[in-house]
Amino acid sequence: MPHSHALASPLLNAGMPFDATREWLHQALAQALPRQQRGDRLQYMSDKPLIPAAVLVPLVYHPSHLSVLLTQRTEHLSKHPGQIAFPGGRAEAEDASAEATALRESLEEIGLRAELVALAGRLPNYITITGYEVTPVVGLVRPPLELRPDANEVAEAFEVPLQLFLDPANFTRHRYELGGKTGSYLAVTHENRFIWGATAAMLLSVGESLTQQHFLE
């Protein structure tokens, strides 16, 4: 059974102004129930230090609803070709914070300007089996977006209704074998798009934070 502590405010009710929605998100993320991050069930086993990285979790504001802005990576990339992801990447020396990394990468990858993003908070860090420690930074985005995706990295940028990720029934767990070990990953489907791995796990974390529930035990 989900464990719930509902916020006093209704969940992203239609007609809530932009600034009030951003404040609601900020409070929801600050009050999120603590839990260990999940997703890939194979632990990162290495003596090498984790590589810091960040992604932007862009929630696009519409008067009637919120949506999540996602990207599909191009097929020719050497890492994660064709996968659905948030804009983001590894931290650079000049980045003052995870927020700076997320905003820089979002500008580089999809042309999303920082002035359109009202930062609302963070989700728990996510450690990938490839050795990255990813900080998901949540931001409320004000349309019109006027995106300019980098054709070398991004095949498409698209929106998915946030409501999809607020229902635990929409998430599934898939098991796999790798190097003699058994692991698992989370996935969620929207229309003909299969969203899985770290991205799906962070989206589940979004749902848990905004509904104040533990979805999957």
pLDDT band for position 10 (cuts 50, 70, 90): very low
Cα-only R_g, the chain: 17
Residue 196: name the closest of 173, 216, 213 by CA: 173
User: What's the CATH code of the domain at 129?
Assistant: 3.90.79.10
User: Number of folded domains in the chain?
Assistant: 1
**Domain interval for residue 67:** 11-212
Tell me, yes or no, whether 5 lies in a domain: no
pLDDT, tens digit, 9 for 90 and up, residues 110-156: 999 999 999 999 998 888 888 889 999 999 999 998 899 887 888 89
pLDDT of the residue at 35: 58
pLDDT of the residue at 215: 64
Q: Find the mean pLDDT for residues 9-35.
A: 78
Residue 153: name the closest of 81, 104, 205 by CA: 81
pLDDT, tens digit, 9 for 90 and up, residues 164-211: 999 989 999 988 887 787 778 899 999 999 998 999 999 999 998 888
Tell me, yes or no, whether 167 lies in a domain: yes
Tell me, yes or no, whether 3 lies in a domain: no
Tell me, yes or no, whether 25 lies in a domain: yes
Tell me, yes or no, whether 6 lies in a domain: no
Tell me, yes or no, whether 151 lies in a domain: yes
Q: Where are any strands of DSSP class E within the chain? A: 3-4, 51-62, 65-73, 84-85, 88-90, 117-122, 126-127, 132-141, 154-161, 171-178, 181-190, 193-196, 213-214
pLDDT at 6 over 50: no
pLDDT, tens digit, 9 for 90 and up, residues 33-52: 665 554 455 566 677 888 99
pLDDT of the residue at 34: 62
Q: Is the peptide bond before 63 cis (omega within 30 degrees of 0)?
A: no
Tell me, yes or no, whether 27 lies in a domain: yes
pLDDT, tens digit, 9 for 90 and up, residues 59-83: 999 988 899 999 997 866 656 656 8
Tell me, yes or no, whether 191 lies in a domain: yes
